[in-house]
Structure 1
Amino acid sequence: MQAIFQHSITIQASDIDSLGHVNNVVYLRYVQEVAEAHWETCASDELKKAHLWVVLRHEIDYKAPAFLGQSLLGRTWVEKADGAKVWRYVHLLEVDSGKLVAQAKTLWCLLDAVTKRPKRITEEIDTVFDQSR
């Protein structure tokens, strides 16, 4: 496992569904928000201009409901890259209790920003994920 990156999430009123808790689809948005924050925070401007990321697969487990007024902490890390693909893990924790509310495993693919074709993940890009905040 590489370094863990953390990102704070504020639950908005629009995130709440008719059952009074965060909607399942919103958790997926949180997963993507945490992943994007990791790349935006740790990658150089040059790397960000030259590369794009797309999701190939999401697996998500809902562990407990989250509610308006709570704050969440997203924790993410990636496995060693395999060609153009990398598995990313995200845990969403309720800040006050530390309780795990959802966890996801997501397969991402690196693309060349110009050609939009898959591009092998280099050691330089892999080291971006060794950084944490």
Structure 2
Amino acid sequence: MSDPSNRPAWDAPHPHVLAVDVTTAHIDLMQHVNNVHYLQWLENVAWSHSDSLGMRQEDYTRLGHGMVVKRHELDYVAPALLGDRVLLATWIVGLDRLSTHRRYQFVRESDGATLFRGATHFVCVEIASGKVRRMIPEFAETYGRAVTPWPAV
């Protein structure tokens, strides 16, 4: 993205960004990326961000706790098309004793257009029982360091 006028206008400062190239495997009957891929991209960029913060899937297993989706909000703004490079951005906007709140913005690299915005509410669960539990200190510390202030979550 060499043209500075095409730089993404991110909704939050310094989001975690992961790039994905749209291939024929992503395209549906309508000739754009099928909605199910956006959901997979949410998970991919969230794990990438978590990994970058030092909290990996194997840490969830070791700690016996994990963060699971309670609710997604998905807003499709414009279609992603075959050949597009899409920049998947995420950031954490809130954390409380049980949960984290994460936001997303997907942008087409070539023109900086926002294609998608989303939000996820995660809750902490004990893996063995599947029951919601108070966030363990390791999660609160790791994810708490990454919170970007945001209007009402």
TM-score (norm 1): 0.83
Match of 2:39 in 1: 28
Match of 1:102 in 2: 116
Q: Among 61, 85, 90, which residue is 2:99 paired with?
A: 85
- Aligned counterparts of 2:45 and 2:16: Cα–Cα separation in 1: 9
Match of 1:124 in 2: 141
After superposition, what is the alpha-carbon deviation per residue over 1:76-105, rounded to whole angstroms, capped at 9, x for unaligned? 111231112111001011011111000101
**Contiguous gaps of at least 5 residues in structure 2:** 1-11, 148-153
Letter aligned with residue 126 of structure 1: Y
What secondary structure, in the 3-state scheme, does the structure 1 residue paired with 2:39 have?
helix
TM-score (norm 2): 0.73
Query: Which structure has the higher relative contact order (CA within 8 Å, separation 6+)?
Result: 1
**Contiguous gaps of at least 5 residues in structure 1:** none
What secondary structure, in the 3-state scheme, does the structure 2 residue paired with 1:25 have?
helix
Match of 1:52 in 2: 66
What secondary structure, in the 3-state scheme, does the structure 2 residue paired with 1:80 have?
strand
Deviation at 1:64, TM superposition (A): 0.4
Give the percent of matched residue pairs that are identical in Structure 1 and Structure 2. 27
CA contact (8 A) 1:58 1:105 kept: yes
Letter aligned with residue 119 of structure 1: R
Which deviates more, 33-42 or 86-95? 33-42
Number of residue equivalences: 131
After superposition, what is the alpha-carbon deviation per residue over 1:2-51, rounded to whole angstroms, capped at 9, x for unaligned? 85211111223111100110011211111111111111222246744324
What secondary structure, in the 3-state scheme, does the structure 1 residue paired with 2:110 have?
coil
Which deviates more, 42-51 or 9-18? 42-51
Deviation at 1:115, TM superposition (A): 4.7
Does residue 12 (structure 1) correspond to residue 29 (structure 2)? The answer is no
Bigger Rg over Cα? 2
Q: 1:2 to 1:111 in 2, by over 3 A?
A: farther
